[in-house]
Every structure is written in C-alpha cells, then in structure tokens.
Amino acid sequence: MSEHEHHPHEPHSEHPQRTLSPIELRVRALETLLTEKGYIDPAALDVLIDAYQTKIGPRNGARVVARAWCDAEFRRWLLADATAAIASLGMSGRQGEHMVAVENTPQVHNLVVCTLCSCYPWAVLGLPPTWYKSAPYRARAVKDPRGVLREFGVELPESTQIRIWDSTAEVRYLVLPQRPAGSEGLSEQQLADLVSRDSMIGTGLPGAAE
C-alpha cells in the first residue's frame, strides 16, 4: 500500500493504516527502544530533521563564497582561519568545527573527497549528496580526478593543477570557487545564487553571470 492510500475501512485520520516496510519497522523499533530506555527525546529528532531539511544546506556555504568574492578582507580571513570567518556569518558547529577553505585560481582546481567514509562540511553545505558517499566517487576522486570531473561535465585545461583533499580526520574543506567572469555588477545575493553545491566541493563550477 502506498504511503498516501488510506485503509478502506478506516475513517480518515492523520495516521492512516499502512504496512510498514521491514526497514521502517527496524527504524521504528530502534527509536521506541532508545526512547523507552531514556536515550532519546523523539521531539528532538523532529527538530534535527527540520534543521537539516530547511535551515542547514548549501545556500549557507554560498553566502560564505559570495562574501569572499565581494570583500577582500573577508577572503583573506577565510583562507587564513576559515572556522572563525565562517562563524562570523552565523554558521558554526557540528561537522564544521575545524574548517579549511581552499581557493581555486586559474592555475589550481581543488576537489574534496572522503575516501574512508562520508566526512563533509555540514555547517556550510548541509548533508552530503548520495554520490559523495558512494563507492565510485570515493574510489576514483583520488586516482582519476579528471575522469571524475568529466562525469560532472567539468573539463579543465591540461595545465591546471588539481589539488585533492581527502578528509581523513575532523578537518572539513570548503572550496572557494573562482568568481565568474562578467559578474562585476552583481550584488552579493546575486553572486550567492551562482554558487552551486558542487562548486564548493570542487565537482562543479559556479554558474555564469547572465
């Protein structure tokens, strides 16, 4: 039965009867157990889910990048002490405790990976996309970065140096992409709109200025 289908003999309710899948049963059992044993406040789970679905995501990182593009002093601060510079914009904490920003230039392109698990800068990019946690990306990013970039539609000049950052400890990396050509007249907000999630991981480039 689909999630939205109501049981034919049940009156309409906010909790329609439906068969839970085996994995849904496991999750429910685990949550019930941990609640009964006093480890979990189920209301906290709702708040966490809301935070990572609606408040903490790549638009946060885009604000950091746009600020760095507009403000040379902030850019220097970001590259010298990313944790503090990012915190000054109100982003800090979980999976962003030890931030490092790495800057793309005409000579150097940065690419971030976690070959051992799924380490990702949640504080500025939110939860990682599935591909970032997947075997093909983790296996190939360190060994065939140009092939990986090509899959993402990014072709770099042969002379460009590629810097790969494997997040093997609690340091989290944010790529500062190059500001798009022709974007001089744009506001900070318009610039932030050009900054894609992938451009801050290094698997993409920012959008072009219109």
Q: Is 70 a catalytic residue?
A: no
Contact between residue 28 and residue 45 where contact means Cβ atoms under 8 Å apart: no
Question: Smaller CB distance to another protein: residue 144 or 182?
Answer: 144
* Separation of alpha carbons 116 and 67, rounded Å: 32
Tell me how far, at minimum, the Cβ of 9 lies from another protein, in Å.
24
* Separation of alpha carbons 89 and 78, rounded Å: 11
Which one of 70, 92, 118, 183 is the catalytic residue? 118
Which one of 88, 117, 134, 187 is the catalytic residue? 117
DSSP states of 19-60? PPPHHHHHHHHHHHHHHHTTS--HHHHHHHHHIIIIISSHHH
- Locate the DSSP E strands across the chain: 98-103, 108-113, 161-166, 171-176
Tell me how far, at minimum, the Cβ of 84 lies from another protein, in Å.
13
Question: Smaller CB distance to another protein: residue 176 or 198?
Answer: 198
Question: Smaller CB distance to another protein: residue 164 or 209?
Answer: 164
Tell me how far, at minimum, the Cβ of 153 lies from another protein, in Å.
9
Task: Provide the annotated active-site residues.
Answer: 114, 117-119
